[in-house]
């Protein structure tokens, strides 16, 4: 986030909002100056003049408050439009980066944007208001007496530069909150994915202790930021109190010497309040701007223009891998043997847990990025092609459905495929379920209510692969939740098709294993 970005969003509104902040400061200064006339009128026993000036002061204060509220409303509107733009850009990146990590992205981004609003965006309007008020008050004091202005300048220098010693702790505290929040959300998501397993083995205490540790780390980060903010506030408050006392003493001395009008005692008191309050606010706002630098750079990186995606591609029917490997963040590495799968082959992929069977499928469809080696794709004639990976049929262990209709989950929002969806659903042994649903294929998928069984979900994903005329089908335990009879029918149909099928499955009978052309066994 930068000021120029907020300006470009709507230049007219942005300038009008800054002008409103300036006008609010002007009305505040006039209201303070009205005190001079009020006190002088009382001293001269002119009660009607006093009432007139009092009413004028009240009007200025109410008008300033109204203008401030209106400006706050439109400022919030301006920021929300800008933040919506950021969210869209970041989520576009998450969509484009097929092998990227997207867990908790929206939650993390929401938290970061809220911090950015508090520390950066709101500070801009506050600085404008405080700076204009400071200039008006300083000008007024100079018109009263130069000695007052000189005192203001001396205290201003102290007010502006002394708090800078806390810039670095504030920025580190802000960055720590963002990192701790991201870690906490990731830990929570990782463990909640296995909540059923945790319950089954009664290890909830371990789960709670780990979540508690990350939560305490996040809590500690907030406490450290609060501590840094309090230290900054205390330092600013100390300087403010010193300056306010000195300027009031100097004003009283000049009035006693007859060099200033009596009523100025009241105005100067308010002026000193506004002046040092403005200085304190500017120093605080500046500290918040500095503290948000790391957060702004992080979001700026997420918003970098997307690289132009390659278009087109051929429906792949076969593949090969050579020297393929994948290294995980913890240092664990999976190395694959050289594999060649020909068009139309039916291959059973086996191997112990951890040998990378499921990971190989993710590498093929682009859900993971290889650390080295080469993946090549071929068409039905065996010619090497640039693949359209959306045409690769993929049935993962856990069927991934979207909160839309069953139809949209099959045709993936392509209306041209609707006519084929019913036939594909029948081939996936889904007809009985479709007939039982009041809305048929238009039945909404309720992820929270879990209105589809595990087997039905797998059948929907299987129909999705068929409706897109996939010539290469990757099945990762994709029929494990389907009843034995329906599962055998699906397997028979797959193995009799012209598709290239690579299937990961356990507990197949010898008869079922013999239906495949060959078996590829991965080893650690």
pLDDT in tens, 258-311: 777 777 777 776 777 777 777 777 877 877 777 777 777 777 766 665 544 445
More confident: 362 or 209: 362
pLDDT (0 to 100) of residue 346? 92
pLDDT (0 to 100) of residue 337? 92
Average model confidence (pLDDT) for the chain?
A: 80
pLDDT (0 to 100) of residue 217? 84
As a whole number, mean pLDDT of residues 148-163 equals 72
Q: Evaluate if residue 328 carries a pLDDT over 50.
A: yes
Alpha-carbon distance of 107 to 112, in angstroms, equals 9
Structure tokens at 25: 């400061």
As a whole number, mean pLDDT of residues 349-360 equals 88
pLDDT (0 to 100) of residue 146? 80
Alpha helices in 97-203 (DSSP H): 105-116, 122-144, 146-161, 167-192, 195-200
Structure tokens at 435: 């007939």
More confident: 216 or 92: 216
pLDDT (0 to 100) of residue 368? 83
pLDDT, tens digit (0-9, with 9 covering 90-100), for 163-217:
666 667 777 777 788 788 877 777 776 666 666 655 655 666 776 777 788 888 8
Q: Of 310, 428, 320, give the one whose Cα is nearest residue 374.
A: 320
CA 345 to chain CA centroid, nearest Å: 44
- The pLDDT-based confidence of 97 (bands split at 50, 70, 90) is low
Report all structural domains of the chain as residue ranges with CATH numbers, in order of start: 3-302 (1.20.1560.10), 318-522 (3.40.50.300)
As a whole number, mean pLDDT of residues 500-510 equals 85
Query: Reduced to 3 states, what is the DSSP secondary structure of residue 504?
Result: strand
As a whole number, mean pLDDT of residues 69-85 equals 85
As a whole number, mean pLDDT of residues 302-321 equals 71
pLDDT (0 to 100) of residue 59? 92
pLDDT (0 to 100) of residue 480? 66
Cβ(490)–Cβ(429) below 8 Å: yes
Instruction: Select, from the ranges 113-117, 489-493, 502-506, the one with the highest average predicted confidence (pLDDT).
Output: 502-506
The single residue listed with the structure tokens 């065996």 is 382
CA 512 to chain CA centroid, nearest Å: 48
Q: Of 286, 292, 282, 281, give the one whose Cα is nearest residue 171.
A: 292
pLDDT, tens digit (0-9, with 9 covering 90-100), for 112-151:
777 777 777 788 888 888 888 888 887 877 777 788 778 7
Q: Evaluate if residue 341 carries a pLDDT over 90.
A: yes
Structure tokens at 261: 């009008």
How many other CB atoms are there within 10 angstroms of residue 351's CB atom? 16
More confident: 358 or 109: 358
Rounded to whole angstroms, what are the CA distances from 206 to 163, 198, 209? 44, 9, 5
pLDDT, tens digit (0-9, with 9 covering 90-100), for 426-463:
888 888 888 888 888 898 888 777 788 888 888 888 88
pLDDT (0 to 100) of residue 100? 46
Q: Of 155, 141, 132, 148, give the one whose Cα is nearest residue 267.
A: 141
Q: Measured in Å, how far apart are the chain's first and last C-alpha atoms? A: 47
Q: Evaluate if residue 99 carries a pLDDT over 50.
A: no
pLDDT > 70 fraction of the chain, expressed in percent and rounded: 86
Rounded to whole angstroms, what are the CA distances from 5 to 127, 229, 251, 455? 17, 27, 44, 50
As a whole number, mean pLDDT of residues 388-405 equals 82
As a whole number, mean pLDDT of residues 74-100 equals 73
pLDDT, tens digit (0-9, with 9 covering 90-100), for 44-73:
788 888 889 889 889 988 998 999 899 888
């Amino acid at each position: 986030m930068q000021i120029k970005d907020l300006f470009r969003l709507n230049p007219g509104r942005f300038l009008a909002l800054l002008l409103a902040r300036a006008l609010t400061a002007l009305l505040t200064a006039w209201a303070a100056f009205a005190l001079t006339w009020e006190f002088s009128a009382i001293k001269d026993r002119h009660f009607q003049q006093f009432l007139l000036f009092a009413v004028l002061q009240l009007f200025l204060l109410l008008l300033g408050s109204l203008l401030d509220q209106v400006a706050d409303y439109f400022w919030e509107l301006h920021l929300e439009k800008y933040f919506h733009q950021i969210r869209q850009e970041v989520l576009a990146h998450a969509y484009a980066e097929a092998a990227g990590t997207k867990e908790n992205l929206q939650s993390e981004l929401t938290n970061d944007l809220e911090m950015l609003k508090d520390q950066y965006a709101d500070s801009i309007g506050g600085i404008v208001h405080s700076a204009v008020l400071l200039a008006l008050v300083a000008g007024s004091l100079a018109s009263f007496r130069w000695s007052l202005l000189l005192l203001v300048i001396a205290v201003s220098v102290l007010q502006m530069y002394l708090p800078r010693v806390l810039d670095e702790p504030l920025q580190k505290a802000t960055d720590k909150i963002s990192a701790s929040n991201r870690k906490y959300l990731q830990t929570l998501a990782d463990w909640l994915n296995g909540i059923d397993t945790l319950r089954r083995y009664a290890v909830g205490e371990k789960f709670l202790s780990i979540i508690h540790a990350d939560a305490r780390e996040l809590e500690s980060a907030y406490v450290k930021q609060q501590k840094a903010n309090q230290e900054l506030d205390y330092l600013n408050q100390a300087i403010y109190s010193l300056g306010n006392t000195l300027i009031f003493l100097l004003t009283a001395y000049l009035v006693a010497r007859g060099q200033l009008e009596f009523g100025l005692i009241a105005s100067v008191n308010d002026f000193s309040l506004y002046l040092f309050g403005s200085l304190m606010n500017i120093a605080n706002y500046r500290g918040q701007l500095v503290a948000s630098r790391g957060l702004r750079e992080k979001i700026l990186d997420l918003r970098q223009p997307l690289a132009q995606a390659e278009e087109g591609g051929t429906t792949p029917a076969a593949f090969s891998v050579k020297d393929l490997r994948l290294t995980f963040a913890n240092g664990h590495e999976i190395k694959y043997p050289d594999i060649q799968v020909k068009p139309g082959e039916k291959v059973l992929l086996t191997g112990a847990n951890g040998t990378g069977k499921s990971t190989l499928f993710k590498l093929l469809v682009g859900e993971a990025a290889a650390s080295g080696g080469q993946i090549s794709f071929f068409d039905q004639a065996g010619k090497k092609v640039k693949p359209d990976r959306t045409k690769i049929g993929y049935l993962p262990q856990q069927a991934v459905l979207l909160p839309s209709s069953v139809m949209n989950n099959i045709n993936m929002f392509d209306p041209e495929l609707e006519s084929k969806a019913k036939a594909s659903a029948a081939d996936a042994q889904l007809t009985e379920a479709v007939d039982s649903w009041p809305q048929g294929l238009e039945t909404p998928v309720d992820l929270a209510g879990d209105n589809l069984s595990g087997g039905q979900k797998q059948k929907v994903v299987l129909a999705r692969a068929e409706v897109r005329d996939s010539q290469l089908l990757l099945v990762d335990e994709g029929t494990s939740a389907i009843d034995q009879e329906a599962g055998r029918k699906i397997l028979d149909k797959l193995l009799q098709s012209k598709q290239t099928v690579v299937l990961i499955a356990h507990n197949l009978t010898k008869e079922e294993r013999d239906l495949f052309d060959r078996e590829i066994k991965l080893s650690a």
